Structure 1
């Protein structure tokens, strides 16, 4: 067998970047109770009681508020969890994630 030489070039990745971040936005509606919104903010988004109440009032007065900024997977997971909890309780609460 003849000697075979193979040349393998190793690629170096130098274009590493921090993952894109996404805002989770909660929208106001006329049916979801303020208490339920506060419960979602404390249980899903881990806000303190005072911070959750302040965000709930911001949503109530300005129709929407950013409740957190996360990587895509985490943002989507929190939106799905909060939406599922709202539907199970009979509320039309709407959340969305969009690029920061």
Structure 2
């Protein structure tokens, strides 16, 4: 079984911060990250990665912790694949 990790759009988190998360945590290239940011903005959310469930939760917690440290409300969800 696998789980997908999604980032949710919001009106406060900057595009640059989301790009940083996608590159640093999800290992996306700048081009991949830019496409993903546009998808998240357009669709309200975007799948950033698919992992084993325990790893998906770890990644989501890491994203959430980094967002809070930087005072952003960015939400990261884990859903079954």
TM-score range (shorter-chain normalised) is: over 0.9
Structure 2 runs not aligned, ≥5 long: none
Does 1:28 pair with 2:3? no
- RMSD, matched Cα: 0.5
- Structure 1: gaps of 5 or more residues: 1-19
Q: Which runs of 4+ in 1 moved over 3 A?
A: none
Equivalent-residue separation in structure 2 for 1:21 and 1:58 (angstroms): 22
State the shift of 1:74 in Å: 1.1
How many residue pairs get aligned? The number is 81
Displacement of 1:73 after TM fit?
A: 1.3
Q: Which of the two has higher C-alpha Rg?
A: 1
Aligned 1:1-100 pairs, distance under 5 A: 20-100=1-81
Which has the larger helix fraction?
Answer: 2
TM-score, reference length from structure 1: 0.79
